[in-house]
Amino acid sequence: METPGISIFMKFTNKLVDYTNLKPDASHQDLTELAQKAKKQGFNSICIRSDRIKEFAETYRCSATINFPTKVYYCNSDEDKKSIIKEIGNHSLEEKLAEAKQALNDGAVELDPVINLANVSKHDFKKLRAELNGYIELMQSYDKPLWLKPIFSCELLEDYSIEFSIDILAQVVAGAQLNKIKVAYKNSTGFIKTENDYPLKTTSQELISLITENLNEYDQDARINIKAAGGIKDIETAETIIEAAAGRLSHIGTSSDMSY
C-alpha cells in the first residue's frame, strides 16, 4: 500500500510525463496501449513520431518529434561523436518546418524538434536562431496553446556548447511574442548510447543542474522550462531531476511507467 506522501508525489510527477514510444516500427497496438496507459496514469502526453500523430491526436494529447533519428546511434569514440553530431537534426529547415506544420495540422499540441547539432557545436548563432525562430513563428500562426521543446542532444556537447545553446534560446525567447506558446529546453533524444562506457552526458542530476544554472543566468525572467529525457526509468531518478531543475521542470520524457 502506498504511503500518502508517495501517492501525492506520483500524482505530481505523472502530470509531467511525456509517455514515449519513438520506435520506428511501433505498431498501432503498441501506441494504442501507450495512450491507454497515459490516460490511466494522468500523464501529460504521449510523445510519438510526427507521422503517427493523425492516428492518435483524438485519442490522447500528443507531443510530436520532428526530424527524429530513425536508428540508435552508438558513440564509443571521439570519431563516432563527430560523425553523429553531423547527422543529428541535419535536415533542411524547410523540411523540418514542413514536418512540424503537418504534425500541428494533424493535431499535435506539443513539438519536440531535434535541433541541428552541427550548428550548435560550431556555435553558428545565425542558423540556430533561424531554426528556433522558424518554429516559434510557425506555432504563433495557430493561435492556440502549444509547447515547443527543442532537443539539444547534450550528451554530445561540451559544457560551453550547452551554455551557448541556452544563451541563444534565451535570446530568441526574449525577443519573441510567445502569446500562447510555452518553451522548454530538452536535453536528449535518448537515441544515443554507448557500448564501451564512453563518457556521454546522460540525464543526471549534474547535467540538469548545469542546464538550470545556465537558464538562471540567461533567462532570468524564467520564460524557459526544462524537459528532462533519456534514461529516466523510475520515481527515485525523477526525484533527483526535479530537485536539480529547481522549479523549472515542466516535462519528463520516459518510456517507463514511473511506478514504484
Instruction: Please state the length of the chain.
Output: 260
Q: What angle separates helix 93-105 from helix 125-140, to the nearest 10 degrees? A: 20
Q: For 76-105, how does the pLDDT look when each residue is reduced to its tens digit (9 = 90+)?
A: 999 999 999 999 999 999 999 999 999 999
Q: For 44-78, how does the pLDDT look when each residue is reduced to its tens digit (9 = 90+)?
A: 999 999 999 999 999 999 999 999 999 999 999 99
pLDDT of residue 1: 41
Band (233; pLDDT cuts 50, 70, 90): confident
Band (3; pLDDT cuts 50, 70, 90): very low
The CA-atom distances, in angstroms, between 143 and each of 126, 177, 181 are: 26, 12, 9
Residue recorded with cell 516500427: 25
pTM for this model (two decimals): 0.94
User: What are the residue ranges of helices labelled H in 42-182?
Assistant: 53-56, 78-87, 93-105, 117-121, 125-140, 159-174
pLDDT of residue 201: 86
Which domains are delineated in the chain? 48-254 (3.20.20.70)
